[in-house]
Amino acid sequence: MRAARLHEYTDDMDDALQIDEVDRPVPDQSDDVVVDVEGAGWCQTDNHIIEGMWQEYVPQELPMTLGHENAGVVSEVGDEVTLVDEGDPVICHPVQTCGICRPCRLGEDMYCENSAFNGLTTDGGFAESLLTNERAVVPLPDGVDPTDIAPHADAGITAYHAVKKAVRELNPGDHAVVIGVGGLGHIGLQCLDAMSAATITAVDLKPEARELAADLGADHTIDPENEDVPGEIAALTDETGAAQVLDFVGADATTGYAPDVVAAGGDHHVVGYGGHVHEPAQALVNGEFSFRGTLVGKYAELQELVALVENGDVELRTSRYDLGDVNAVAERLEHREIEGRAVITP
Mark whether 187 and 97 lie in a shared domain: no
pLDDT at position 336 is 81
Mark whether 260 and 307 lie in a shared domain: no
The dihedrals phi and psi of 211, each to the nearest 5 degrees, come to -65, -40
The torsion of the CA quartet 83, 115, 302, 162, rounded to 10 degrees, works out to: 170
Regarding beta strands 262-270 and 341-345, do their DSSP bridges make them parallel or antiparallel, or are they unpaired? Answer: unpaired
pLDDT at position 339 is 79
pLDDT at position 332 is 92
**Cβ–Cβ under 8 Å, residues 92 and 30:** no
Mark whether 67 and 171 lie in a shared domain: no
Of the three residues 256, 273, 293, the one that is the final residue of a domain is 293
We report the CATH number of the domain holding residue 35 as 3.90.180.10
Of the three residues 274, 293, 312, the one that is the final residue of a domain is 293
C-alpha distances in Å from residue 181, one per residue of 33, 34, 185, 212? 34, 34, 4, 8
The answer for residues whose C-beta is within 8 angstroms of residue 313's C-beta and 6 or more apart is 190, 191, 194
**Cβ–Cβ under 8 Å, residues 34 and 25:** yes
Cα separation of 149 and 90, whole Å? 10
C-alpha distances in Å from residue 25, one per residue of 2, 76, 77, 149? 12, 10, 11, 23
Mark whether 143 and 7 lie in a shared domain: yes
**In terms of residue numbers, what domain contains 38?**
2-154+296-345
pLDDT at position 57 is 85
Cα separation of 270 and 232, whole Å? 21
Q: HEC states along the chain? A: CEEEEECCCCCCHHHCEEEEECCCCCCCCCCEEEEEEEEEEECHHHHHHHCCCCCCCCCCCCCEECCCEEEEEEEEECCCCCCCCCCCEEEECCEECCCCCHHHHCCCHHHCCCCEEECCCECCCCECEEEEEHHHEEECCCCCCHHHHHHHHCHHHHHHHHHHHHHCCCCCCCEEEEECCCCCHHHHHHHHHHHCCCEEEEECCCHHHHHHHHHCCCCEEECCCCCCHHHHHHHHCCCCCEEEEEECCCCHHHHCCHHHHEEEEEEEEECCCCCCCCCCHHHHHHHCCEEEECCCCCHHHHHHHHHHHHCCCCCCCEEEEEHHHHHHHHHHHHCCCCCCEEEEEC
- Signed CA dihedral, 93, 298, 56, 98: sign only: negative
Of the three residues 293, 310, 325, the one that is the final residue of a domain is 293
Q: With CA atoms as reference, report the closest residue to 253 among 282, 226, 276.
A: 276
We report the CATH number of the domain holding residue 239 as 3.40.50.720
Mark whether 9 and 68 lie in a shared domain: yes
pLDDT < 70 regions, the chain: none
Q: With CA atoms as reference, report the closest residue to 303 among 148, 175, 189, 160.
A: 160
pLDDT at position 65 is 98
Residues in the chain: 346
pLDDT at position 317 is 86
Mark whether 140 and 236 lie in a shared domain: no
How many domains would you assign to the chain?
2
Mark whether 240 and 310 lie in a shared domain: no
Mark whether 336 and 288 lie in a shared domain: no
Mark whether 111 and 213 lie in a shared domain: no
Mark whether 132 and 225 lie in a shared domain: no
pLDDT at position 84 is 97
Mark whether 269 and 310 lie in a shared domain: no
Mark whether 41 and 130 lie in a shared domain: yes
The answer for residues whose C-beta is within 8 angstroms of residue 20's C-beta and 6 or more apart is 2, 3, 4, 5, 63
